[in-house]
Amino acid sequence: MKLAVPGEPHLTYCTNIHPGESWAEVRANLERHVARVKAAVAPSRPFGVGLRLSAAAAATLVRPAELEAFRAFLHDHGFYVFTINGFPYGPFHGTRVKEEVYLPDWLDDERLAYSDRLAELLAALLPADAGLEGTVSTVPGAFKGRVRGEADEERMADLMIRHAAGLHRLRERTGRMVSLALEPEPCCHMETLDETVRFFEGRLFAPPAVAAFGRLAGLGRGESEIAIRRHLGVCFDACHMAVEFEDAGTGLAALARAGIRVGKVQVSAGLRVRMDPGNRELVDALRPFAEGVYLHQVVERRDGGLTRYVDLPEALEAARRDGGGAREWRIHFHVPLFREELGPFASTQDYLRGVLGLLRREAHSPHLEVETYTWDVLPEAYRREDIAVAVARELHWVLEQLGVRL
């Protein structure tokens, strides 16, 4: 949905919420769930779709007959696609995902091939007459432990520059603008916004990268610098940034100063816990969130310092060993946006309110995407609501924060 706030961004939710790896399953989810959300939120206006396509689904959709049938489906249902979640390559529900979600990463040619295919699909799906740009969000390089030194950084930057050159050629060929949005996340190579700015300035915007882009795209230095900044940017995930204790206003300003575009804001919230290891009831209430499908990174603030844990079970074990002492935990567990509290725990809803307040006052990004993908692993007490009803509640909550009435 196009919104009447600064920059007139488009708002949607990501279909990675709904289990489905094959194209047939994705298409069925659009018919079963997304249509109901549209009816509840925007029945009389075009409704944007935040599409999630696995590599397998993308390989099917790229077939001309499937693509043409999908275009007709979008038209008939009042849908349009403007963003794709290209982060998870393979299975994302019902099986252990954890750190495998980053693979293949930007050290692997297959990540480049997958991203190229998603960009081609998005260019083919963007509305022809709206001048609307598309974004594909992706992993922030790689899981931190996978990057061993400068050679790996150079390798990731090389693949990203090759992809950006492909996006430039795609724009020249089709007239459709598509950008890649790298999504900083706890325990990844680009974890904090400082690390993100450092990678962009030191690798993607640096003279060797500009020269390489120019050779691939057939452009001079000045044109290459502009094109790289046009096609490579950041996906600002509000849950991730809250978990990292980033100040949203400061962070967005730092990205702007560095000339890094925010292609997409993922509208999300995580868990916030005033942790006391000596409080057994509190610890026991937190254990159901330590589920076995997704990685739930924890950042602990204690005595002015930050300590990071790769997953919630690791943080719980560390707290058990070191004993008492209050500390705050921010946990990468996406929770419903409209829940300020979950039993004895808070969400990072206040942080998200601040992000949306910034977006209400200033155009920071053209795309806003709700992404609460954990409905099927939330403790049962917090997921009794019908999924389409819950997603509609989230979108209505976002619209209220932005001061938008449809």
Q: How confident is the model over 60-114, as pLDDT tens digits? A: 999 999 999 999 999 999 999 999 999 999 999 999 999 999 999 999 999 999 9
The residue segments making up the domain with residue 82 are 10-272+345-402
Domain contains 87: yes
Domain contains 62: yes
Q: What single-letter amino acid sits at 323?
A: G
Please, what's the largest Cα pairwise distance for the chain?
63
Domain contains 144: yes
Tell me what pLDDT residue 44 has.
Answer: 94
Taking a C-beta distance cutoff of 8 angstroms, is the pair 160, 172 a contact?
no
The order of strands in the sheet holding 232-237 is 10-13, 367-370, 261-267, 232-237, 178-182, 134-138, 79-85, 47-52
CA 241 – CA 3 distance, rounded (Å): 24
Q: What single-letter amino acid sits at 361?
A: R
Identify the CATH number of the domain in which residue 396 sits.
3.20.20.150
Domain contains 378: yes
Domain contains 335: no
Domain contains 142: yes
Domain contains 299: no
CA 93 – CA 140 distance, rounded (Å): 21
Tally of structural domains, the chain: 1
CA 239 – CA 324 distance, rounded (Å): 27
> pLDDT band at residue 323, thresholds of 50, 70 and 90?
confident
CA 121 – CA 126 distance, rounded (Å): 9
Residue-wise pLDDT for 219-277, tens only, equals: 999 999 999 999 999 999 999 999 999 999 999 999 999 999 999 999 999 999 999 88
> pLDDT band at residue 303, thresholds of 50, 70 and 90?
confident
Phi and psi of 326, rounded to 5°? -70, 145
DSSP reduced 3-state for 41: helix
Domain contains 322: no
Residue-wise pLDDT for 352-395, tens only, equals: 999 999 999 999 999 999 999 999 999 998 988 999 999 999 99
- 197-200: long-range contacts, CB 8 A cutoff, minimum separation 24: 197/254, 197/255, 197/258, 197/260, 199/141, 199/153, 199/157, 200/232, 200/258, 200/260
CA 293 – CA 99 distance, rounded (Å): 10
> pLDDT band at residue 188, thresholds of 50, 70 and 90?
very high
